[in-house]
């Protein structure tokens, strides 16, 4: 069971897993909130071992029923409210899905796998974030698995609570759990409210590129398929009850990323004249001047200054290391967006919701 599999990381994880493990049954459970998009699962829709169920993880009896009916032995839990800005303006949904929803899933797993004794060998893998550790000063060492939790946003606090519940279900009830805490992901199918896809799609629409505050905040960027490989390592080799940090070894200031994407986009337009016809509205990129769209905006309240992951444990114990550099990952990402205008345009104009509604009419 992959919860949140119609979202950004979940969908990329499902694509990766079904390619690497085609004989495994994969059941995606997703409520299809604004962040869920069935088009993200197009590459696996026809796979004979793929199933999709629209359901809310807060529905414990439905989760139990799915675990029983399909004899599932593994949950990869990604369903969440994931955007920090939304957690500032509306924290309730974050508490509901990230805390109550995770607890609902833990209860279902305990009931079916332990109380009913249906699956002695099982795994509940919880996907979490480095944001639970709080913020770093420029010279602080990176977050390790032993860094004390100090969440600063409602999003981070809700993820921290869910991490604690997962830990408690292992210690109290013997549920076989693992947790991974990863840094900022980027790549294909990323909802254009997050920094990197927002910058790419705004350049293509010739819209302002908002940089919060002084733009000198630092994030440690991880290409999404590298994250999928990291989760695979934890599932196959990780020790039950352990946490693993997964990072990209890619610390960048926001303003440097925005300027870098502007330069890459200008080069892409200069190298391929057909882009000018396909994206005729992208006047700044066509002129080779995407950076003129950069606009400093009001800072995010409580904005964490720096995140950085120390990934020694996953490197040493699991042999994990990311394959993409930021340069190769950004190029792949940018080209994916240039080649899939129908995907991001339908997200930006909202028509992906109408299509989903028709599927379930
Ligand atoms: P996303 O917002 O793109 O996708 C979340 C998915 O969960 C959506 O498909 C949504 O429909 C689904 N969902 C939301 N509430 C649900 C509910 N109550 N029941 C069932 N489904 C529900 O998020 P993402 O960026 O893919 O993140 C996936 C996970 O990874 C989250 O747990 C997030 O906290 C974690 N994470 C993300 C990042 C990142 O950079 N994106 C970094 C670290 C950790
Ligand atoms: P985001 O992609 O929202 O991820 P997170 O908040 O989980 O790190 O933001 C990444 C960084 O970019 C963060 O420091 C906030 C900043 N940011 C901007 O400067 N402008 C924007 O429009 C957005 C969405 C984010």
Per-domain residue ranges of the chain: 2-184+224-248+308-325+350-359
**pLDDT at 278 (0 to 100):** 96
- State how far the Cα of 215 lies from the Cα of 46, in Å rounded to an integer: 43
Check pocket membership of 250 for ligand 2, CB cut-off 6 A.
no
CA–CA gap between residue 197 and residue 182 (Å, rounded): 19
Task: Supply the pTM of this predicted model.
Answer: 0.98
- Closest ligand 1 atom, residue 184 Cα: 40
Q: How wide is the angle at C-alpha 271 spanned by C-alphas 267 and 274, nearest 5°?
A: 120
Decide whether any atom of ligand 2 lies within 6 Å of the 173 Cβ.
Answer: no
Pocket test for ligand 1, best of 35, 343, 360 (most atoms within 8 A of CB): 35
Catalytic annotation on 155? yes
Residue ID of nearest Cα to ligand 2 atom 25: 195
Give the CA angle between residues 52, 157, 73 to the nearest 5°.
Answer: 35
Is residue 359 pLDDT above 80, yes or no? no
Q: Find the catalytic residue in 64, 130, 220, 264.
A: 130
How many Å apart are CA 131 and CA 205, to the nearest integer? 31
Of ligand 1's listed atoms, the one at least distance from the Cα of 96 is 18
pLDDT at 130: 98
Q: What are phi and psi of 211, to 5 degrees?
A: -115, 120
- Distance between the two ends of the chain, CA-based, in angstroms? 25
Lowest mean pLDDT among 34-38, 324-328, 352-356: 352-356
pLDDT tens, residue by residue, 153-178: 999 999 999 999 999 999 999 999 99
Indicate if 130 belongs to the active site.
yes
User: Ligand 1 pocket: which residues have CB below 6 Å?
Assistant: 3-4, 6-10, 30-33, 35-36, 56-58, 78-80, 82, 97, 101, 127, 129, 159, 182, 184-185, 191
CA–CA distance, 215 with 223 (Å, rounded to integer) = 21
Is residue 219 lining ligand 2, measured as CB closer than 6 Å?
Answer: yes
Q: What tokens does 72 get?
A: 């599932």
Q: How far is the CA of 279 from the centre of ligand 1 (A)?
A: 30
Distance from residue 237's CA to the centre of ligand 2 (Å):
32
Residue 312: band (very low, low, confident or very high) from pLDDT cuts 50, 70, 90: very high
The closest-lying atom of ligand 1 relative to the alpha carbon of residue 11 is 26
The architecture (CATH level 2) of 2-184+224-248+308-325+350-359 comes to 3-Layer(aba) Sandwich (3.40)
- Kindly report, residue by residue over 193-236, the tens digit of the pLDDT: 999 999 999 999 999 999 999 999 999 999 999 999 999 999 99
Distance of CA 129 from the midpoint of ligand 2 (Å): 14
Q: Is the pLDDT of residue 120 over 80?
A: yes
pLDDT confidence of residue 250:
93
**Ligand 1 atom with the shortest distance to the CA of 36:** 9
* Atom 21 in ligand 2: residue holding the nearest Cα: 195
Ligand 2 centroid from CA 218, angstroms: 10
Closest ligand 1 atom number to CA of residue 131:
43
Return the percent helix, strand and coil in the chain, to nearest 5. 50, 15, 35
Mean residue pLDDT of the chain comes to: 97
283 Cβ closer than 6 Å to some ligand 2 atom: no
* Own/partner long-range contacts of 61-67 (Cβ < 8 Å, ≥24 apart): 61/108, 63/29, 63/104, 63/105, 63/108, 63/109, 64/108, 64/111, 64/112, 66/1, 66/27, 66/29, 67/1, 67/108, 67/109, 67/112, 67/113, 67/118
Angle at 333 (CA atoms; ends 347, 357), nearest 5 degrees: 20
């Amino acid at each position: 069971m992959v919860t949140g599999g119609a979202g950004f990381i979940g969908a990329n994880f499902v694509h990766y897993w079904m390619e690497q493990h085609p004989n495994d049954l994969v059941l995606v459970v997703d409520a299809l909130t604004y962040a869920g998009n069935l088009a993200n699962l197009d590459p696996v829709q026809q796979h004979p071992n793929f199933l999709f169920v629209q359901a809310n993880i807060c529905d414990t009896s439905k989760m139990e029923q799915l675990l029983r009916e399909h004899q599932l032995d593994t949950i990869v839990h990604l369903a969440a409210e994931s955007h920090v800005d939304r957690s500032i303006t509306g924290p309730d949904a974050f508490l509901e899905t990230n805390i109550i929803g995770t607890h609902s899933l833990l209860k279902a797993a305990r009931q079916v796998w332990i109380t009913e004794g249906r699956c002695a060998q099982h795994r509940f893998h919880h996907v979490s974030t480095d944001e639970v550790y709080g913020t770093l000063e420029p010279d602080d060492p990176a977050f390790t698995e032993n860094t004390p939790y100090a969440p600063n946003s409602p999003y981070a606090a809700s993820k921290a609570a869910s991490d604690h519940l997962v830990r408690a279900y292992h210690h109290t009830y013997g549920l076989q759990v693992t947790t991974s805490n990863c840094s900022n992901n980027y790549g294909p199918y990323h909802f254009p409210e997050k920094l990197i896809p927002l910058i790419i799609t705004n350049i293509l629409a010739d819209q302002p590129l908002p940089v919060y505050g002084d733009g000198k905040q630092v994030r440690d960027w991880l290409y999404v398929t590298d994250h999928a490989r990291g989760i695979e390592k934890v599932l196959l080799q990780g020790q039950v009850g352990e946490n693993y940090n997964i990072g990209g070894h890619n610390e960048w200031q926001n303003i440097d990323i925005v300027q870098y994407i502007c330069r890459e986009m200008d080069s892409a337009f200069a190298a391929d004249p057909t882009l000018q016809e396909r994206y005729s509205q992208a006047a700044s990129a066509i002129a080779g001047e995407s950076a003129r769209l950069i606009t400093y905006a009001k800072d995010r309240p409580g904005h964490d200054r720096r995140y950085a992951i120390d990934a020694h444990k996953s490197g040493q114990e699991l042999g994990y290391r990311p394959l993409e550099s930021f340069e190769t990952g950004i190029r792949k990402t940018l080209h994916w967006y240039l080649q899939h205008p129908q995907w991001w345009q339908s997200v930006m104009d909202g028509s992906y919701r109408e299509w989903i509604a028709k599927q379930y009419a």
